[in-house]
Structure 1
Amino acid sequence: MTYANTTPTLDTLVQQWDKKFAKSDKVNHQKVLFKNRYGITLAADLYTPKGVSGKLPAIAVSGPFGAVKEQSSGLYAQTLAERGFVTLAFDASYTGESGGEPRNVASPDINTEDFSAAVDFLTTLPNVDADKIGILGICGWGGMALNAAAMDTRIKATAVSTMYDMSRVMANGYNDSVDVAARYQARQALNAIRTQDAQKGEVARSTNNLPEKLTGNEPQFVKDYFDYYKTERGFHPRSVNSNGAWTATTPLSFMNMPQLSYADEIQAPVLVVHGENAHSRYFAEDAFKKLKGDNKELMIIPNASHVDLYDNQANKIPYDKFEAFFKANLK
């Protein structure tokens, strides 16, 4: 296979502000690197509130699936840093400024590990209380966050926003419309591509991407994605959804390794936030049904779509709720 050299260093990271939101004068910002336990170097933005001393609670943030830290996760992270938390918005393995080859691969295991690696990093910071660390996952990273919370008992609170269960949608399609026979055919097609990759020495890219132009006949949620990822509102050149494509065989591991298998064993508090009108709402509600205990909460945002919770264009992100949740549970 032909791969690029993609192990980042601080010198190779973009230092100028190239994010899809304005820089806050209430926080300090710096680029950082850390490794996950598979040896992949992850790139992240560290936000710390100005004028605050002592050891602080911290939150690791990532998502949406196919986005980069210069988009939604960075906005969430900076906003929560303004409210008194040390926050870390990171690019997933194989994407953005993070390392990993080939580019634009996703994995339910490795990406779950990315959250724990972010926790590792936060525990090393002198201004972070290692016993007060939470995580926040957006869209497909909501599923990763719940998966991480089931595994990593160091995570004291987990919030998910407009979540997707990527293993469920890749295996079953939207609204579980894919049956066993169709799933087998999909596996056959994906494994045929894998053979071609091996024989050609090149990695095929998915053709199931956002269109470069809309015809007007797309489902509303595709139009919403387009409005975010393909327009000035949210476009970023390092985002898979804006300016790239996943490897064609990425769905294989998700189809075979379901997330949330142990979600019912999460003992720490969980906040699940989703839009009332989101096409993905069933992911959040079904995930919430798996959670046990009286420290779990589901919050449905009235009149909000899936993408309304990516940025605050529609003024729908409940930052006050996220702040109150983390302050109550990271103390």
Structure 2
Amino acid sequence: MTTSDGYTFALDENVERTSVRFKNRYGIEVAGDLYVPKNATGRLPALAVSGPFGAVKEQSSGLYANEFARRGYVALAFDPSYTGQSGGTVRDVASPETYTEDYSAAVDFLGLQDIVDRDRIGVQAICGLSGMALTAAAADSRIKAVATASMYDMSRSMSRSYQDSYTPEQRHQVVDYLSRQRWKDAENGTYARGLHEVPFDEAGNLVEADSIFPETLPADPNPVLAAFYDYYRTERGYHPRSINSTTAWTATTPMAFFAFPLMANLDMLAPRKALLVAGADAHSRYYSEDVHKTAPDTVDLVIVAGADHVDLYDRKDLIPFDTLDEFFTKNLA
């Protein structure tokens, strides 16, 4: 339920939250909330936190940051560029490169804080910002450890669809649709909205829409749709600045994710460590499992019994914070 201050969770009584701004290397101003334990002394370990894809810092990432601060970390929850309260001229456009850069910019900011130990900075990512977090860590050695929850590989998701189910013909159809949409946007001088994971209907036709979720659920909804809807469109997690709660991404957003795969240099993460957390019942579980297979000596995998994908957004009874805390304590030593 959204609180009176606009957050979908209550601030812990032992934590202080401050609104902050910092710039990435492209000059885009990124908006964040800095969570710090009250009465903290010395230099503390710190975490940059973001996600899910299409969410804002007042939702899941803030909840995670609040919990980590309660446990003794300085935690920065931030809105990626072009979304929420962050800057960027075209609103609600996603970029694999820029979103990856935003994590490094968050590390820049954290490393300038007197209360932060620069040698103990990690990243916690949720859902669709997880691929960017792992990509950032592979290229930025200041990130000493990275954890994800309900990881999505957005490049794989957009360019190949769920469970890599696009046929080669469908992939070409999506690229053609995105390419033609660019001319439409150029002619209109505006940026149309569209589905970032472009589906096909039962007749094999590409589906277009200007909002991610319907106003109301159908009588017998797809379970994955129902789970996302229950978070983004109800009191549980609704926020008016969240793309997923209110609208859709720019229609041409998937183009960059076809062109630039995430996590291509995951081997560069070693000897640093990653921890991937996935729900046993999550439709997205295979993303974490596949990444784990590519680097089992660097990447650990935790499967949470009884949890689906969305449960790890805000179900504190299911999110394994003790395990995450233990991971960061060990790897940010």
Specify the SS of the correspondent of 1:23.
coil
Shift of 1:101: 1.7
Equivalents in 1 of 2:307, 2:261: separation in Å?
A: 28
Distance (whole Å) between structure 2 residues aligned to residue 83 and residue 181 of structure 1: 50
Residues 136-169 of structure 1 deviation map (CA, whole Å, 9 limit, x = unaligned): 1100011111111111111000000000000001
- TM-score, length of structure 2 as denominator length: 0.92
**Kept after mapping to 2: 8 A contact 1:44/1:91:** yes
**Counterpart Cα distance in 1 of 2:191 and 2:220:** 31
CA distance in 2, matches of 1:77, 1:287: 24
Partner in structure 1 of residue 33 of structure 2 = 45
1:194 and 2:182 correspond: yes
Find the residue that maps to 1:310 and give its secondary structure: helix
What CA distance in whole angstroms lies between the structure 1 residues aligned with 2:5 and 2:323?
28
Q: Report the AA paired with residue 51 of structure 1.
A: N
Gaps of 5+ in 2: 195-208
How far apart are the structure 1 equivalents of 2:11 and 2:75? 15
Judge conservation of contact 1:26–1:50 (CA < 8 Å) in 2: yes
Deviation of residue 218 (structure 1)? 2.7
Deviation at 1:124, TM superposition (A): 0.4
Q: CA RMSD in A?
A: 1.1
* 1:63 maps to 2:66: no
Give the secondary structure class of the aligned counterpart of 1:145.
Answer: helix
Corresponding letter in the other structure for 1:204: A
Can you list the C-alpha shifts for 1:81-133, whole angstroms capped at 9, x where unaligned? 00000000000000000001210000110000010000010010011011110
Could you tell me which residue of structure 2 aligns to residue 322 of structure 1?
Answer: 324
Could you tell me the TM-score, scaled by structure 1's length? 0.93
Taking the aligned partners of 2:321 and 2:307, their CA distance within structure 1 comes to 14
Aligned partner (choices 272, 275, 278) of residue 282 of structure 2: 278
- Partner of residue 10, structure 1: none
The Cα of 1:180 is off from its aligned counterpart by 2.1
User: Cα deviations across residues 159-211 of structure 1 (Å, max 9, x unaligned)?
Assistant: 00000000001000001011222111111111111101001111101126111
1-structure distance, mates of 2:282, 2:128 = 14
Please state whether the residue corresponding to 2:118 is helix, strand or coil.
strand
Match of 2:252 among 230, 249, 252: 249
Aligned equivalent of 2:307 = 304
Identical columns (%): 52
Alpha-carbon shift at residue 292 of structure 1 (Å)? 4.9
Determine whether 1:219 maps to 2:222. yes
**Residue 85 of structure 1: aligned partner:** 73
Shift of 1:212: 1.2
Question: Unpaired segments of 5 or more residues in structure 1?
Answer: 1-15
Match of 2:104 in 1: 116
Map of 2:8 onto structure 1 = 20
CA distance in 2, matches of 1:52, 1:175: 45
Per-residue deviation, 1:216: 2.8
Amino acid at match of 2:290: D
Matched residues, number: 314
Paired residue for 1:162, among 150, 163, 183? 150
Deviation at 1:227, TM superposition (A): 0.3
Contact preservation (8 Å) 1:17, 1:23: no
Of 64, 74, 77, the match for 1:76: 64
Counterpart of 2:31 in 1: which secondary structure?
A: strand
- Distance in 1 between the 2:186 and 2:241 partners? 26
Instruction: Supply the distance in 2 between the matched residues of 1:188 and 1:301 (Cα, whole angstroms).
Output: 39
d(CA) in 1 for partners of 2:143, 2:122? 5
Deviation at 1:31, TM superposition (A): 0.2
> Does 1:144 pair with 2:132?
yes
The alignment partner of 2:135 has SS state of helix
Asked if structure 1 preserves the Cα contact closer than 8 Å seen for 2:139 and 2:268, the reply is no
